[in-house]
Amino acid sequence: MSHITEHNGEKIHRGRIEVICGSMFSGKTEELIRRMKRAEIARQKVEIFKPSIDTRYAEQDVVSHEGKAIPSTPVDSSASILLLSADTDVVGIDEAQFFDENLIDVCNELANRGTRVIVAGLDLDFKGIPFGPIPQLCAIADDVTKVHAICVHCGAQAYISHRTIDEEKRVLLGEQTIYEPLCRSCYQKALKGNDKEIPD
């Protein structure tokens, strides 16, 4: 099978890395699911992986905040993805920020084999620091899509997933009760304790 396809008259290699990144509640997982389901419709062999620590919505499935789901394989390390994705046309990886740094080499290896790799994850942690392997994956990716949530205080494009509880641990799984998407301005106000000045 050829590793080159045509899209709008442009030649695209099937072996490629696509990164979908942004804050929480921005639709990263929903976009990953959309692309994976399109690949299934095209009768391509797909596999989707997620970190085994992420059991917020389901033990096995990858589930978006909107409730859309797709079957997945939970794994403890990025090395397992390489072992479990032989003869796969499209590999999806959700919550990639929780994987080890070896994920970068794994994605490169898969793409070099001719596999389309679609990665979704947070680009920044709750302190605004680049998160896990995502920044380097963005650097080596063939395509990067940055999606945005809406700031819950002012309605602008969100910049960060602000943690609303006093907990310094970097990895803390949670939803609306623990995190809220904020724009840069509202995030700075929140850091200074000026929440009363943030417009409703």
The CATH number that applies at residue 103 is: 3.40.50.300
d(CA 170, CA 67) in angstroms, rounded, equals 25
Tens-digit pLDDT profile for residues 97-118? 999 999 999 999 999 999 999 9
Question: How many separate domains does the chain show?
Answer: 1
Bridge partners, residue 5, by sequence: 12
Is 175 within the bounds of a domain? no
Stated pTM of the model: 0.83
Contact yes or no for 165/178 (Cβ under 8 A) = yes
In sequence order, the 6+-apart residues with CB closer than 8 A to the CB of 160 are 23, 124, 126, 128, 181, 182, 184, 187
Q: Which amino acid is at 47?
A: E
Contact yes or no for 39/4 (Cβ under 8 A) = no
Is 13 within the bounds of a domain? yes
Specify the pLDDT at position 133: 96
Specify the pLDDT at position 153: 95
DSSP character for 31? H
Is 69 within the bounds of a domain? yes
Is 155 within the bounds of a domain? no
Specify the pLDDT at position 61: 57
Is 199 within the bounds of a domain? no
Specify the pLDDT at position 103: 97
- How many helices (H) and strands (E) would you count in the chain? 5, 12
Specify the pLDDT at position 57: 47
- What CA–CA distances, in Å, run from 17 to 46, 97, 114, 195? 14, 15, 10, 40
95 carries an active-site annotation:
yes
Specify the pLDDT at position 46: 95
Is 186 within the bounds of a domain? no
Is 134 within the bounds of a domain? yes
d(CA 184, CA 51) in angstroms, rounded, equals 29
Write down the catalytic residue from 10, 95, 101, 168.
Answer: 95
- What CA–CA distances, in Å, run from 135 to 12, 35, 111, 121, 129? 23, 21, 18, 10, 10
**Which range of residues forms the domain containing residue 43?**
4-148
Is 183 within the bounds of a domain? no
pLDDT-flagged residues of the chain (< 50) = 1-2, 56-58, 195-200
